[in-house]
Structure 1
Amino acid sequence: MAWDVFSFIGAAAFAISGAIVAMEEDYDFLGVYILGMITAFGGGAMRNVLIGVPVDVLWSQHFLFFVATFLIVLIFFFSKYVLSPWNRWGSYFDAIGLGAFAIQGAMLAIDLDMSLFAVIVAAVLTGSGGGVLRDILAGRKPLVFKDEIYASWAALAGFLVGLGLFKSDLALYCLLIVTAGLRILSVVFQIKLPKGKLQKE
């Protein structure tokens, strides 16, 4: 049950996120649809390639494709009603999607009896991979490479799941709340990672 819930939350949140970014870049309907779908499913596809899961597993998620398509179409045709609330709440939905997909990726790696490091990598790729593809295709600097704390929360979630500290569905839901909450707090209070700079002569 937890796997399905996390898949639904992540796909829905990131489909909306990708569609909004495409609308901000003045893409046509096809561009909005493609960017929304890539954001929703790109991270999982990247994870599957890296950890050796057949990529064609992606195409079996019929219900999630329907959900993502419905939300993207909703965003495109009713943007004047949706964009204003999204600008206010978008970072929060994105945080929920990040947490959901990070935990889902970690769960998959554990089911495959992979190492702790692989679990963390799977969590980061699933949680932030779609966003990286979204930003690159939109001509933006990927959020994960900025000084904001983003992928680090996905890595933390993967680490905790990999240690076996969160096994039951209820515990995983609590971890989702914690991960999303930490991401939201880092946005609200502008908590950032330190930057490295080269001195110029």
Structure 2
Amino acid sequence: MSWEMFSLIGTIAFTISGAYVAMEEEYDILGVFVLGLVTAFGGGVIRNLLIGVDVTMLWQQGLYLNTAVIATVIVFILPTRWIQKWKSFEVILDAIGLSAFAIQGALYATERNLPLSAVIVAAMLTGIGGGIIRDLLAGRKPLVLRDEIYAVWAIFAGMVIHTGWMKTPAQLYALFVLVILLRMMSVYYKWKLPRRSLREPDAQEKQWEIGG
């Protein structure tokens, strides 16, 4: 039941996120459906490919496919002023989708008695795969490739679930909320991963360095 609930939450959150990005880029209705569905299911398809699950299982998920279609239709027909107000909730939707799908992917892998590495990969790809495809189709730099902390929280969820510390529905929902809070805190406090640039400093910066 927990697996199904997290799948439903993640499907709705990522479908809305994908549809919103498509409309922001002024795609037509087909583009809105494509980005909505790809965002919701792309990560799961990639995960299944890597852990050896038949990808055709996607077509057996009628509930989630229907939910994604309905969510896309609702977003598409809403008044523009309502949709524009969602801009401030874009990060929250991504955080909800990331958390729900990361936990869902980790549960999916642990049910098959896969090792820690596979559980982490399943959690991460389910949580970020759809968003990567969405951003690439929208011509944007994928969120996960920026220096802000994003995929790390999916890895964290996978590690926690693999330990077996959180098994009951209440514990899993607590982890769901925790991952969302961590993601939002990393945005609010601008937590970033280390990065290194290979770009040469411009002449002014070089001159400043020489001058002390």
Please show how residues 81-92 of structure 1 align to structure 2 within 5 Å.
Answer: 81-92=81-92
CA distance in 2, matches of 1:200, 1:96: 39
**Which residue in the other structure is 1:155 paired with?**
155
Q: Does 2:134 match 1:134? A: yes
**1:110 positional shift:** 0.6
Scaled by the length of structure 2, the TM-score of the pair is 0.92
CA distance in 1, matches of 2:45, 2:199: 39
Q: Residue type matched to 1:20 in 2? A: Y
Please show how residues 38-187 of structure 1 align to structure 2 within 5 Å.
Answer: 38-187=38-187
CA distance in 1, matches of 2:168, 2:196: 40
Deviating beyond 2 angstroms after TM superposition, the runs of 4 or more aligned structure 1 residues are: 198-201
CA distance in 2, matches of 1:194, 1:63: 41
Identify if the C-alpha distance between structure 1 residues 79 and 121 changes in structure 2 by more than 3 Å, giving closer, same or farther.
farther
Aligned residues: 201
Deviations 1:96-151 (A, max 9, x none): 11000000000111111111011001000000000000001111110000011110
**Which residue in the other structure is 2:208 paired with?**
none
**1:84 positional shift:** 2.4
Q: Contact 1:149/1:193 (CA < 8 Å) preserved in 2? A: yes
Q: Contact 1:19/1:76 (CA < 8 Å) preserved in 2? A: yes
Supply the RMSD in Å over aligned alpha carbons: 1.2
CA distance in 2, matches of 1:158, 1:113: 13
Which segments of 5 or more consecutive residues in structure 1 lack a partner in the other structure?
none
Flag the structure with larger Rg: 2
